[in-house]
Structure 1
Amino acid sequence: MTSDLTPSQFADLAESIARDGAALAARRRAEGVEVADRKSSIVDVVTAADREVEALVRARIAEARPDDAFFGEESGTGAGTSGITWVVDPIDGTVNYLYGSPEYGVSIGVVRGSADPTTWEPVAGVVVAPATGVVFRAAVGAGATRDGVPVQAGAPASLAETLVATGFGYTVDRRRQQVEVLAGLIGEVRDIRRGGAASLDCCAVAAGTVDAYYERGINPWDMAAGSIVAREAGAAVRIWEAGGTRSFLFASPAIADDLEALIRSLEDRALPA
């Protein structure tokens, strides 16, 4: 099978699967959630629901598109021959999910090529927030929507009027470095927001509820779908190497150059050579 669907048709399929995954995640949250395992640190948790939702999503994709590749947070990779890769975070914002916060999402991105954000070609992305039912969706060339209504990235007049979302890693050293960068950033922008789910932060840029989202060290599954939504809403997407780890910026084009330059200069001072 080849990649014979249009971007909008891929978005249709991703949305159908993400809605099913979201329904399962919401049911498991209502039943009660427990930590099933820890990954990079004691605070980097995975629940049984993460694994169950990814298994459902992966099975649905394999049924509909058996020749496509798969790259998921919990179950790893699966090779394909079509040139299409599905990049999946079954529950983005697992700590929020564990604590009962509504800020978590089921994130499904569709790309051409490998699961590398620096080389893949975006096709479609869907992020569903199970706790609220909100659906963000994008298909390349068709724009981005929130619950079917088109969204557009904001256009702040200056860095001083820019609302920036960010996040933090799971290891102590990375968090300390991120806070050092943030300490230099917070005096140059309107304010900082911390949501705890990269996919929804990207979608917030798309919807204009923040002007930019920056984080160092997120994974492809964290941002695949959200980055496509942000890009189709007119946001700039920037990726660069910082301290041996990638930094990601999703921002209004009005301030993207200035914000990237500022963050890079702060990282140069905060990160080890």
Structure 2
Amino acid sequence: MARIPADEAEDIFATAAELADAAREATLLYFRKTDLAAENKESTRFDPVTVADRLSEERMRAILARRRPHDGILGEEFGPKAGTSGLTWVLDPIDGTRGYISGTPTWGVLISVRDAAGPVYGIIDQPYIRERFEGGLGRARVVGPSGEAALRARTHRPLSQAILYSTFPEVGTQAEGAAFRRVAAQAKLTRYGTDCYGYALVAAGMVDLVIEAGLQAYDVQAPIAVIEAAGGIMTDWQGNPCHEGGQVLAAANRAIHAEALALLNG
């Protein structure tokens, strides 16, 4: 990513690490608290938000205001802030709030930086198990309780041997769900409920595919950066960029991406 100078890349790394550390502290204050209240943001389905979501994003925004005031911000809970630098930080303070309030350690904090062409760097952080997946600007690594390791997506194996992840069994609309099931019927194993952690596992070489629909920009920007840095590919269901969300197909390699794409459009 030559469009970011080396000295600025170092500052982005340091800023992103400070953001992720702050979000870890904020989210763990409330995780697995049985009296944690959750508001519903939608009328047609349960889309929860908690005090932890808001506190996490507030603390990250305060750091950006101090360290990089000229950058833009797009956050899930408090909307967009315009910048003048050409860079925007895209923040999801808790990706997987349903899992968070259920006590499962598969939610995460998503932090990314994008320019006009798309995401250039991202972090998928799981505070409870202390794993941080990082990709872009020359980095592709995971740091956690077992130490540091390079991220490398899996090489091709047939769809009949593949592992497929999605957050919900009910993927998008009725037509989108039918398309998803065409792929799932051919996969060796299909698993659900992992939110952003499924994308991290694609980058780590454990999972072959993630297929979802109805996503937002803050759901996908960090996973795109991390997966692409690990050698994978992430597009919409037509093979186009999915920077703004919507239908998403994340794949460990181009060969299995092409197999899944054909079935989604079959």
Provide the TM-score with structure 1 as the length reference: 0.84
SS at 1:29's partner residue?
A: coil
Q: Mapping of 1:151-190 within 5 angstroms?
A: 151-168=151-168, 174=172, 176-190=174-188
Equivalent residue in structure 2 for 1:140, among 124, 137, 140: 137
Equivalent residue in structure 1 for 2:203, among 206, 215, 219: 206
CA deviation map 1:80-110 (0-9, x unaligned)? 0000000000000000001111111111011
- Tell me what 1:109 maps to: 112
Equivalent residue in structure 1 for 2:232, among 229, 235, 256: 235
Moved segments of 4+, more than 6 Å? none
CA deviation map 1:237-266 (0-9, x unaligned)? 212469xx831111022311111111122x
Q: Distance in 2 between matches of 1:145 and 1:174?
A: 30
Q: Distance in 1 between matches of 2:110 and 2:230?
A: 17
Distance 1:133 1:40, change over 3 A: farther
Deviation at 1:184, TM superposition (A): 2.1
Deviation at 1:195, TM superposition (A): 2.8
RMSD between aligned alpha carbons?
2.3
Q: Mapping of 1:62-77 within 5 angstroms?
A: 62-77=65-80
Distance 1:241 1:263, change over 3 A: closer
Equivalent residue in structure 1 for 2:81, among 72, 78, 82: 78
Count, aligned residues: 252
Distance 1:43 1:152, change over 3 A: same
SS at 2:215's partner residue?
A: coil
Q: Distance in 1 between matches of 2:139 and 2:127?
A: 24
Counterpart code for 2:264: I
- Tell me what 2:246 maps to: 246
Q: Distance in 1 between matches of 2:135 and 2:61?
A: 20
Provide the TM-score with structure 2 as the length reference: 0.86
Identical aligned residues as a percent: 29
Any gaps of 5 or more consecutive residues in structure 2? 240-244
Q: Distance in 2 between matches of 1:173 and 1:157?
A: 24
Asked if the contact 2:171–2:212 (Cα under 8 Å) also holds between the matched residues in 1, the reply is no
Counterpart code for 2:97: T
Asked if the contact 2:237–2:261 (Cα under 8 Å) also holds between the matched residues in 1, the reply is no
SS at 1:62's partner residue?
A: helix
Distance 1:191 1:173, change over 3 A: closer
- Tell me what 2:9 maps to: 7
Query: Is residue 2:21 matched to residue 1:23?
Result: no
Distance 1:160 1:241, change over 3 A: closer
Q: Distance in 2 between matches of 1:10 and 1:181?
A: 39
Q: Distance in 1 between matches of 2:126 and 2:176?
A: 26
Q: Distance in 1 between matches of 2:219 and 2:126?
A: 14
Q: Distance in 2 between matches of 1:194 and 1:176?
A: 18
RCO comparison, higher one (Cα < 8 Å, 6+):
1
Asked if the contact 1:202–1:223 (Cα under 8 Å) also holds between the matched residues in 2, the reply is no
- Tell me what 1:59 maps to: 62
Distance 1:175 1:240, change over 3 A: closer
Counterpart code for 1:247: Q
Q: Distance in 1 between matches of 2:120 and 2:175?
A: 34
Q: Distance in 1 between matches of 2:190 and 2:203?
A: 17
Q: Distance in 2 between matches of 1:52 and 1:241?
A: 37
